[in-house]
Chain A
Amino acid sequence: MKRKSVSYAKWGYIFLAPFFIVYIIFSLYPLIQTFYNSFLSYVVDRGSIFQSTKIEFGGLSNYASCFSKDETLFQSFLNTIIMWILGFIPQIAVSLLLATWFTDLRLKIKAQGFFKTVIYLPNVIMASAVAFMFQAMLARTGALYGLFHAANDTTILNTVWGTRGTVAFINFLLWYGNTTILLMAAIMGIDPGLYEAAQIDGATPSQTFWKITMPLIRPILSFVLVTSMIGGLQMYDVPALLTKDTGNPIGKAYTLIMEIQQRKDSDVGKASAVCVLIFIISAVLGLFTMFFLDDTREKKKKRRKA
């Protein structure tokens, strides 16, 4: 029994402690509270200052009412997914294209730093500022009204697809720079020798892209997909500002978080139930994507072959 080596482990725990303390107070406790509240019938009367609050145990009634027929939640879930997909597809396509160009050994694009900065810039602007800007530009008095306006002579923000499209476009604009940087990092991590060897063997650029780049950046792609999906499910600021919290036209731009924001001051129980549902959906979708895009399964196969 030699116990000469000094254990530094405790310092690790000490340095970790602040995070866990903060996490427990500000994240874990509210999380548990939310689960608890979701089982209560918890109604606050906003018409009084010392808000008269009715709290009683409601069992699963909040969850049941989330799935009732005249409930807007499912529609809002669909809206959220539609607006996310509309933004994500162009985002990933443009990002992949730009990342490939910037890292291509043969293209050798000049002034890369400049372009990268410009591409990343929209991400630095606050989403709310961009939303207000688009609102002003698409208004009847705005600069873009001539190009984009609805058939009945109003702004496209009065039409379902105009609004959804604008939300998706703003999300695309804000995030494609960020994704490009991530994907570039991934591509630069690939051994250049692979590309050289492929070129010597006469592979076309599209072949190297599909056969070398794509398989090797899959972990990062799945990371991008999962983070973007979770961010997408929590879409709030842009649609809320563009539609002035109404989610109109006809609630087709309502997102799940907007549903929570509307309810949180009065229908606390139901709002908590919606939070829990979003939590479950995020978890399921996240696990699903991780499972299908995880590259460890393939590695296992390869190892078996070897």
Chain B
Amino acid sequence: MAKLKRVLAGALSLCMVGSMLTACGDSSSDSDSKSSSSKKDSSAAAASSSADSSTADSSKAESKEVKSADDDKKIVIHCWNTEFKERLDKYYPNNGKYEVETEEYEKKGDDGSTTKLTQIKKINGKEVVWVQNTNEGGVYQDKLDEALRANASASADEKVDMFLIEADYAMKYINGGVTTPVKDLGIGDDDLKEQYKYTQDVATDTDGNLNGVSWQATPGCFMYNAVYAKEVLGTDEPDKVQEFVKDWDTFKDTAAKMKEKGIAMLAGFDDAYRVFSNNASAPWVTDDKVQIDPQLKAWAEQTKEFTDKGYNNKSSLWSPEWAACQKIDGKTFGFFFSTWGIAFTLKGNTGDAGNGKWRACYGPQSYFWGGTWMCATKDINSQAEVADIMRTITCNKDVMKKITEGEQDYTNNKAAIKEIVDGGYKFDFLGGQNHIALLAENAEKIDLTGKLTAYDQDCNEKFQAAMKDWFLGNTKSYDDAVAAFKTELTKKNANLKFE
């Protein structure tokens, strides 16, 4: 028995030492990623590394070594991926009015390759600090909320100066009393006049103050595989293909044709979601009451039909299967993508083999998807620098034109877009098609007045998850799936109610 006890005690102490060591490992890797968080670059999909930086972020928030510094030496920016950072690194130097110090770093691609890029180290002598947390499951919001609540009392160097938001939860921050209106930063109507109205609607609070600005407008279009179009529809010209997808009934007929050749119309369940949800007539939540718009039901019913008939490849958004469908031989006809999705997602996933073999057409309905707004915090202490970043990236026509030409972003500047369209812009990835002209048509039609709520991300995520079970046949009926959606949504938001 004594021997046994010894063994037990030994095992236990081993476990303890082991757990201590694992803790050490974790924290050291945390501080690792903390120190290099600005250098390390991860793609939007790499959730694990962003989880790392999220822990690093919290540890950073707790350590208050530099308290005495009254003069601010850092510009702290919260973000969920590297999209904005890359724009800033590339287009702020030489265009902004402040002196910039840069350094080189290596960006790791999904395929393991590395590219050398230049990043901004300091603007006007202030270090730029990026705090990156994954968007999924509301992690970004939780961390940001925490930081914003503590922002007033945070030391000068730790104060968050700027943060990015998406339309899905923009309302929470725009009306949350945590932002500085852009006019207080010295950005006036004259600077903003060329921006699309909907991008300003998203960021305008109930008092009519504009609290955030975006460098991109995100009208969507239907991206299709030109090889399959030629094979099945006999043409790959955007105007003619558009006739095959001009409304949802025709879209379905075309899907049947594709199916005969073993090609799925869409990659998966959620692809058409935004096209329907953006055309909803009412917001998700009014006075804590949740409503399911007829458009969302229509999406669910169509997707169910598509799944049962084999018109889609049964993948979920952002999954590896979904990405594989974007290969040029991925047996998938098309994707609904907005401006960022073309260059930031599709181009990367399809690789060199797909270069020049995709085309864009208008699609069945106009819609937008995503978009990134930048807001200045209420307790900002780098006003001049943040104002200049905003003005350079979102108001300067020449810079924005360069962004569109360099990154294929649809920039939020009508004058720049007009120059590009008139200038006969061509995008090699789309076989020389001028998709900006196409998007310009869609951008004017976006109307978001009164359609956004602070709960949209949870509502969208939970609705898609619940419906997926119905599509796969795990849930018997639409009503059962709705019941599951209600349970899950109220778990995460106990204050919400259903009629």
Q: A-side interface residues toward B, CB under 8 Å?
A: 43-51, 54, 70, 72, 128-129, 132, 136, 139-142, 152-155, 158-160, 181-182, 185-186, 189, 219-220, 223, 244-246, 248-251, 259, 262-263, 265-267, 270
Q: How far does the alpha carbon of A196 sit from the alpha carbon of B492 in the complex, in Å? A: 62
Chain B residues near A49 (CB, 8 Å)? Answer: 145, 148-149, 172-173, 176-178
B491 A262 Cβ-Cβ under 8 A: yes
Q: Which of A72, A154, A270 touches B494 (beta carbons < 8 Å)?
A: A270
State in angstroms the CA–CA spacing of A44 and B491 once bound together. Answer: 11
Q: What residue of chain B has the Cβ atom nearest to residue A186's Cβ?
A: B7
In Å, the complex CA distance between A129 and B64 comes to 32
- For B178, list chain A residues within 8 Å (CB): 49
Residues of chain A lying within 8 A (CB to CB) of residue B285: 47
On whether the beta carbons of B7 and A136 are closer than 8 Å, the reply is no
Q: Are A266 and B494 in contact (CB under 8 A)?
A: yes
A250 touches B495 (CB 8 A): no
B455 within 8 A of A: yes
A141 touches B473 (CB 8 A): no
**Is the beta-carbon distance between B475 and A262 smaller than 8 angstroms?**
no
Which residue of chain B has the shortest Cβ distance to A53 in the bound complex? Answer: B495
In the complex, identify which listed stretch (B116-124, B316-324, B436-444) lies at the interface while the others stay far away: B316-324
Q: A43-B494, A136-B320, A139-B321 are in contact. List 20 more A-B contacts (CB 8 A).
A: A46-B454, A46-B458, A46-B492, A47-B453, A47-B455, A47-B495, A49-B149, A49-B173, A49-B178, A50-B149, A141-B324, A152-B472, A154-B472, A189-B7, A219-B8, A244-B137, A250-B474, A250-B484, A251-B484, A263-B492
B355-388 at interface with A (beta carbon < 8 Å): none
A140 touching B324 by the CB < 8 A rule?
yes
Q: Tell me the bound Cα distance from A72 to B145 in angstroms.
A: 29
Main secondary structure of the interface of A (DSSP, over half): loop
Find out whether the CB atom of B473 lies under 8 angstroms from the CB atom of A152.
Answer: yes
- Whether A128 contacts B474 by the Cβ 8 Å rule is no
Say whether B19 faces chain A, with CB atoms less than 8 Å apart.
no
Contacting residues, chain A, for B324 (C-beta < 8 A)? 140-141
- Complex Cα gap A48–B324 (Å): 38
Residues of A within 8 A of B484 (CB): 250-251
B1-58 residues with Cβ-Cβ distance < 8 A to A are 3-4, 7-8, 10-11, 48
Count of B residues near A, CB < 8 Å? 49
The complex places the Cα of A158 from the Cα of B321 at a distance, in Å, of: 13
Residues in A whose Cβ lies below 8 Å from that of B171: 47
Which B residues lie within 8 Å of A265 (CB)? 138, 142, 492
Name B480's closest neighbour in chain A (CB-CB).
A250
Expressed in whole angstroms, the minimum distance between the Cβ of B183 and any Cβ of chain A is 21
Distance between A242 CB and nearest chain B CB, rounded to angstroms: 12
Specify the chain B residue showing the minimal Cβ separation from A154: B314
Flag if B176 contacts A263 (CB, 8 Å).
no
In the complex, chain A residues whose CB is within 8 Å of the CB of B142 = 265
> CB within 8 A of A45: which of B7, B465, B472, B495?
B495
For A223, the chain B residues whose CB sits under 8 A away are 8
Residues of B within 8 A of A (CB): 3-4, 7-8, 10-11, 48, 136-138, 142, 145, 148-149, 171-173, 176-178, 285, 313-315, 319-321, 324, 453-455, 458, 465, 468-469, 472-475, 483-484, 487-488, 490-495
Q: Report whether B48 and A128 are in contact in the complex, using a CB–CB cutoff of 8 Å.
A: yes
* Separation of A270 and B495 alpha carbons in the complex (Å): 13
Q: What's the nearest-Cβ distance from chain A to residue B431, in Å?
A: 26
Number of A-B residue pairs, CB cutoff 8 Å, is 121
A219 to B178 Cα, complex, angstroms: 58
Q: A50 vs B148: C-alpha distance in the bound complex, in angstroms?
A: 9
Among B11, B136, B173, B177, which residue has the most Cβ atoms of chain A within 10 A? B11
Residues of chain B with a CB closer than 8 A to A153's CB: 314
- Residue of A whose beta carbon sits closest to that of B456: A47
Q: Is B8 within 8 A of A43, CB to CB?
A: no
Determine if A220 and B8 form an interchain contact, defined as CB atoms under 8 angstroms apart: yes
Q: Is the CB of A48 within 8 A of B176?
A: yes
CB distance from A92 to the nearest CB of B (A): 16
Please tell me if the beta carbons of A263 and B4 are within 8 angstroms of each other in the complex: no
Assembled-state Cα–Cα distance A44/B494 (Å): 7
* Closest Cβ–Cβ distance, residue A170 to chain B (whole Å): 16
Pairs across A and B, CB under 8 Å, 15 listed: A45-B493, A47-B454, A49-B176, A49-B178, A72-B487, A139-B319, A152-B473, A158-B472, A189-B4, A219-B4, A223-B8, A249-B469, A250-B474, A250-B484, A262-B488
Q: Are A132 and B137 in contact (CB under 8 A)?
A: no
Residue on B with the closest CB to A141?
B324
The 3 closest A-B pairs by CB, nearest first: A47-B454, A267-B494, A49-B176
The CA of A269 and the CA of B492, in the complex, are separated in Å by 13
Which residue of B is nearest A181, CB measured?
Answer: B11
Chain B residue contacts of A132, Cβ below 8 A: 48
Q: Assess whether A48 is in contact with B469, with CB atoms less than 8 Å apart.
A: no
Which single residue of chain B is at the shortest CB-CB distance from A217?
A: B4
B11 and A140 within 8 A (CB): no
Whole-angstrom distance from the CB of A151 to the nearest CB of chain B?
Answer: 10
A159 to B171, CA, bound (A): 37
Output the least CB separation between A64 and chain B (Å).
15
When distances are taken between beta carbons in the complex, the residues of chain A under 8 Å from B138 are 46, 265
Taking CB atoms, residues of chain A closer than 8 Å to B454 are: 46-48
Please give me the residue from chain A that is nearest to B145 by CB atom.
A49
Most buried by B among A47, A72, A265: A47
B172 pairs with A47, CB closer than 8 A = yes
**A182 touching B475 in the complex, CB below 8 Å, given contacts A141-B320, A263-B491:** no
Given the complex, which residues of B lie within 8 Å of A267, measured CB to CB?
A: 490-491, 494
Q: In the assembled complex, which residues on chain B have CB atoms less than 8 Å from the CB atom of A219? A: 4, 8
A182 to B7, CA, bound (A): 9
Q: Is the CB of B321 within 8 A of A141?
A: yes
Which residues of chain B come closer than 8 Å to A189, judged between CB atoms?
3-4, 7
Measured between alpha carbons, how far is A138 from B200 in the docked complex, in Å?
Answer: 44
Q: A44-B494, A48-B176, A189-B7 are in contact. Are A70 and B487 (CB under 8 A)?
A: yes
